[in-house]
Amino acid sequence: MRRALAIVVLALLAWPGEGMAEIVQLQVGPGVVGNGWLFLDRDGRCKVLTAGHVVMHGGQRAEVQVLRRGQSLGTDVPEILSIEPAPDIALLPVQVGRDPAECSRSRLSRIGIVRRLLAMRDGFIETNSPTGGESMLVPVQRAATQNDAWGGELFSVTPRDPSVRLAKGWSGSVVRDGEGVLGIVSQVELDGSAAIIVRIDVLDRLTRLAAPPSRRAGFDRVLVVLGETVDTANGPLGLVDRERPPWRVRPANRRVVFRLSADRPSRVRRVSVEMAPRSAALLRMDIAVGLHGPEGLRFEGIRSCGATSPSPRLSCGFLEQDRRDVEISLLLDAAGPVEIRSASVE
């Protein structure tokens, strides 16, 4: 163990490339902590990629709390992009504030990946330290080509020092060379002798295929519950129709509440709200779903999501269910008229 720690320390002192990738901790259940890679996606939103099995608890997708150097970035339900055996990947949005720079310098990029993999001899697994503080680096080398059944989408690495063993808990960590991230650890062999890595160009493709918030569930009717529309030209239909201007509304005690409805029940798992540029910021979103019964329609609260700092966007996930009415309550950082660019249910 002392020898392994010494190797890690030497790697940190000798790191040749750009700054460290941002590895965060994922609190999945009581005493269950995993790793994930924090990055800024092409849509300008901060997200975490990890191995799909990391975010499963009791056979189901768990509510996951994201921790960066001990500070919470919020709790959400991840989207499984692909399942085991390979590639095994999950995606989780996080809230970091108004400025994308507060997220991470890491980006998804497939540029030069084939060249870098062909040339790769030495690299590093970057993972969380046992204390959850700064990341640590473990020297690795690319193993002989494996996993051809998956069309080269995966590759394997082994410790550079044969006496070192890789830890099972490192799934969701990244492998990198001097130019940046090469992929994510999907699986560690039982004996710790090797790790299977999903290439970053595969991760890029999977995130592109992930369905963004849209109107596909048909939530295109809006009922205002709390808040006053300032003028009819900027009405609430702008929430669900991008061709209309943003909804200009005066909050009541910094709150705005509205309902989105569809003609028929649809499978829903996430609500996303975005403010117009230079408008107010979002502090919290409470979500309730409509329950239709003999006594009519009533709403039951199912989730509350808070931003770690005031943010123009807020996305809140929950366990999938079939609903046709969703009530959204927003707490804002401004009392005067604000503009809400969009609200979507997916």
C-alpha 297/C-alpha 327 separation (Å) is: 12
In a domain, 156, yes or no: yes
Residue 10 has pLDDT above 80, yes or no: no
Q: Give yes or no: residues 29 and 164 share one domain.
A: yes
Give a yes or no: residue 143 inside a domain.
yes
The answer to whether residue 49 sits within a structural domain is: yes
Residue ending a domain, choose from 208, 233, 248: 208
pLDDT given at position 18: 45
**Residue 87 predicted with pLDDT over 80:** no
Tell me the pairing of strands 60-61 and 64-68.
Answer: unpaired
What pLDDT does residue 175 have?
93
Q: How far apart are CA 254 and CA 236, in angstroms?
A: 17
My answer on whether 174 and 279 are in the same domain is no
Same domain for 98 and 156, yes or no, is yes
Distance between CA atoms of 276 and 299, rounded to whole angstroms?
A: 28
Tally of structural domains, the chain: 2
- Same-domain check for residues 179 and 282: no
CB 172 within 8 A of CB 185: yes
Answer yes or no: do 156 and 241 share one domain: no
Q: Are residues 16 and 146 in the same domain?
A: yes
Report the alpha-carbon distance of residue 331 to residue 340 in Å, rounded.
Answer: 12
Residue that is last in its domain, among 208, 243, 277: 208
Q: Look up the domain containing 341 and give its range.
A: 221-345
Position of tokens 């994510």? 184
| CB count in 10 Å sphere of residue 340 | 26
Classify residue 279: in a domain, yes or no: yes
Residues 25 and 79 in one domain: yes
Residue 333: predicted pLDDT: 93
Q: How far apart are CA 337 and CA 254, in angstroms?
A: 10
Confidence of residue 208 (pLDDT cuts 50, 70, 90): confident
Taking CB atoms within 8 Å and a gap of at least 24, the contacts of 129-132 are: 132/25, 132/33, 132/67, 132/69, 132/70
Of 173, 64, 81, 188, the residue nearest 125 (C-alpha): 173
What is the Cα–Cα distance from 176 to 106, expressed in whole angstroms? 12
Q: Which residues contact 232 (CB under 8 A, 6 or more apart)?
A: none
CATH label of the domain that carries residue 274: 2.60.120.260
Could you report the per-residue pLDDT of 212-243, keeping only the tens digit for each?
Answer: 544 445 788 899 999 999 987 888 888 988 78
Residue 4 has pLDDT above 80, yes or no: no
Residues 17-64 pLDDT 10s: 345 668 888 888 777 788 999 988 877 778 899 988 888 877 777 788
Q: Are residues 262 and 203 in the same domain?
A: no
In a domain, 8, yes or no: yes
Distance between start and end Cα atoms, the chain: 47
Closest to 89 measured CA to CA, from 267, 208, 180, 177: 208
The predicted structure's pLDDT at residue 86: 53
23 and 164, same structural domain? yes
What is the per-residue pLDDT for 21? 64
pLDDT value at position 216? 45
172 and 196 share one domain: yes
Cβ neighbours of residue 298 closer than 8 Å, sequence gap 6 or more: 290, 291
Domain CATH number, residue 120 = 2.40.10.120
Gap between the Cα atoms of 49 and 203, Å rounded:
8
Residue where a domain terminates, one of 141, 174, 208? 208
Q: What is the 3-state secondary structure (H, E, C) of the chain?
A: CHHHHHHHHHHHHCCCCCCCCEEEEEEEECCEEEEEEEEECCCCCEEEEEEHHHHEECCEECCEEEEECCEEEEEECCEEEECCCCCCEEEEECCCCCCHHHCCCCCCCCCCHHHHHHHCCEEEEEEECCCCCCEEEEEEEECCCCCHHHCCCEEEEEECCCCCCCCHHHCCCEEEECCEEEEEEEEECCCCCCEEEEEHHHHHHHHHHCCCCCCCCCCCEEEEEECEECCHHHCHHHHCCCCCCCEEEECECCEEEEEEEEEEEEEEEEEEEEECCCCCCEEEEEEEEEEEECCEEEEEEEEEEEEEEEECEEEEEEEEEEEEEEEEEEEECCCCCEEEEEEEEC
Task: Give the other-Cβ count within 10 Å of 62's Cβ.
Answer: 20
What torsion do the CA atoms of 95, 100, 102, 103 make, to the nearest 10 degrees? 60
Asked whether residue 140 falls in the same domain as residue 248, the answer is no
